[in-house]
Amino acid sequence: MLDQRKLLFFVVKVFALILIFSSFWPFVAPGYTRLLVAASNGVAPSNINMAAVDSSIIIHVEGQWTPASLRSLPFQAGLLLVVALVIATPGLKVRQRLKCVVAAAIVTFGLHVASVLIMSSHAQAMRPLVVLFASVGIDLFPVLVWAALSAKYWWPSRGASSRLRLTQEMRTTYPPSEASP
């Protein structure tokens, strides 16, 4: 576990990375929105069609007069957050960090597609529970993805002690026989 000074440095590093990423994100956001719409349209029901307009998603539901609009910037903020958290996590080697960033981006993108699909299927009648799930999920899921990917760093002894305990239990349960080499 970290001491307070290292934890403070981690938090400052995350905020700095988010500020850096946010400064160039307006140039990337329309492309990410188009990618999100393309992936969502690929798995959406046939009566729902989505289009990307700048950083918004326009949702056309067959049989409804007016299209709904969904801002995609909150989704994108979650992606920036998870990448910043992974990069700022101390104790990871460069290769581990790169693998974690790629894995986090893929999982987060999948969660974004799922959120867009949920929101688009309830586009005209935004039920409070759906809005709550999508709103909380947009902010919470990236943190959960990062926590799952970096758990070994934050609790390194936990995995080692459980492996040691399992090995000791196996030795007492199955003592080595004299015939084994």
Segments making up each domain of the chain, as ranges: 4-173
Q: How does DSSP classify residue 126?
A: -
**pLDDT tens string 16-39:** 999 999 999 889 888 999 999 999
Evaluate if residue 140 carries a pLDDT over 60.
yes
Q: Which residues are bridge partners to 68 per DSSP?
A: 59
Return the higher-pLDDT residue of 71 and 172.
71
Rounded mean pLDDT of 61-72? 77
CA 161-165-166 angle, 5° bins: 120
**pTM strictly above 0.95:** no
Which among 80, 86, 57 has a CA at the least distance from the CA of 147?
A: 86
Q: What's the pLDDT at 144?
A: 87
Q: What's the pLDDT at 88?
A: 92
Q: How does DSSP classify residue 2?
A: -
Count Cα atoms within 13 angstroms, Cβ side, for 75.
Answer: 28
Return the higher-pLDDT residue of 162 and 74.
74
- What are the backbone dihedrals phi and psi of residue 89, each rounded to the nearest 5 degrees, phi first? -65, 120
| Rounded Cα–Cα distance for residues 79 and 119 (Å) | 18
Measured in whole angstroms, how far is the alpha carbon of residue 51 from the centre of its chain?
Answer: 23
Q: What's the pLDDT at 65?
A: 75
Rounded mean pLDDT of 90-116? 89
